[in-house]
Amino acid sequence: MIDVARKLAFLLIGYGGLGALARPLVGGVGVILMLHRVTAFLDRPEGPNRHLTITPEFLDLLVGEMKRLGYAFVSMDEVVTRLRSGRSGGPFAALTADDAYRDNLVEALPVLESHGAPITIYVAPGLTSGTADLWWEVLDAIVEAGKPVTATIMGEKRTFECATSRDRKGAFLELSDWLTSEVSEEDQRQVLRGLAEQAGVDASAPNRQLLMDWTEVRRAASHPLVTIGAHTVHHCNLKRLEAGKALREMHRSRSLIEAELGEAPQHFAYPYGYEAAAGMRETHLAREAGFASAVTTRHGVLVSGHAAHLHALPRLSVNGRHQDLAAMRAMLSGATTLMTNGGRRLVTV
């Protein structure tokens, strides 16, 4: 219900003209856009992860519209430079994509080439190498298999029926919440694979089918429009790890990517990136790990004050819920930043 209300508010701002009025006043100096998947070929268009996907056609429309509004598309290196200098040179936008989905390379990049728009792709080496699982896609496959699965939650053995669409939706929501809040980060893979075994699902298949391998990551990295960033090794919720482990996840993600590409990434994205996954401690750790910037999933436009918070940069999510230019215009206006963040323009953790 909250998501529906937010979408309606975004559309009203976008279509009602408030966004155009607000942007010069509260639109900030720039924005960082967050993508995940960009594809016209979604296996389960009504599946629980559909919000992670936009079409290449919508990406093309969005970039074109933002260029019409005067945005210059820049790299994350340039975002840092502009924020530090205090001279934005007009509104700017940076495109980012989390997890290194293969469609970023084969479907999104041709669109970006047509616009000359750079993108930063954040790679989690464990996902790329297959030593960590794309758990949300695995869980989707588990419930979609339609078989009952049993899990012990809060000491109680529970069986989740997955025969109907309603069953599968409920099972996915409850099991995903349990996996990400009750099961430890260290145990998550083992528990997930136990569920997959019950359902007869290959837990490694989503990584192979959906994510770039290292050859493709190297191909992407060699493209003049692409910057590779880091996303921890195992896509961990860093706030759920003790500090030493969290820092190792950051350091090792840099070193593993450097070993594959010959260059250490300078930019970082917190997995999940919301308040319960990235706080003040994590911003200090990202700085200690040597990253020039770090992005969250906190909703917001960039303002000059973010020069002092380069490891807590907000983003605007471009996702399947908001494939509408009016909704995006509302976000770009800065009005939704105020609405979402209690009237604050400077969004930090």
141/48 Cα distance (integer angstroms): 10
- The answer to whether 286 and 268 are in contact (CB under 8 A) is yes
The pTM of the full predicted model, rounded to 2 decimals, is 0.94
Encoded amino acid at 117, one letter: A
Picking from 223, 89, 240, 122, the residue whose alpha carbon sits closest to that of residue 179 is 240
In this structure, the strands spanning 72-73 and 92-98 are parallel
In this structure, the strands spanning 149-153 and 156-160 are antiparallel
- The answer to whether 163 and 227 are in contact (CB under 8 A) is no
**Mind listing the pLDDT tens digit of every residue in the chain (349 residues)?**
445 555 555 555 655 565 565 566 566 899 999 999 999 998 888 899 999 999 999 999 999 999 999 999 999 999 999 999 987 689 999 999 999 999 999 999 999 999 999 999 999 999 999 999 999 999 999 999 999 999 999 989 999 999 999 999 999 999 999 999 999 999 999 999 999 999 999 999 999 999 999 999 999 999 999 999 999 999 999 999 999 999 999 999 999 999 999 999 999 999 999 999 999 999 999 999 999 999 999 999 999 999 999 999 999 999 998 899 999 999 999 988 888 888 887 878 7
φ/ψ region of 89 (left if φ > 0, alpha if ψ in -120 to 50, else beta) reads left
**324 Cβ contact list (under 8 Å, min separation 6):** 11, 14
72/303 Cα distance (integer angstroms): 16
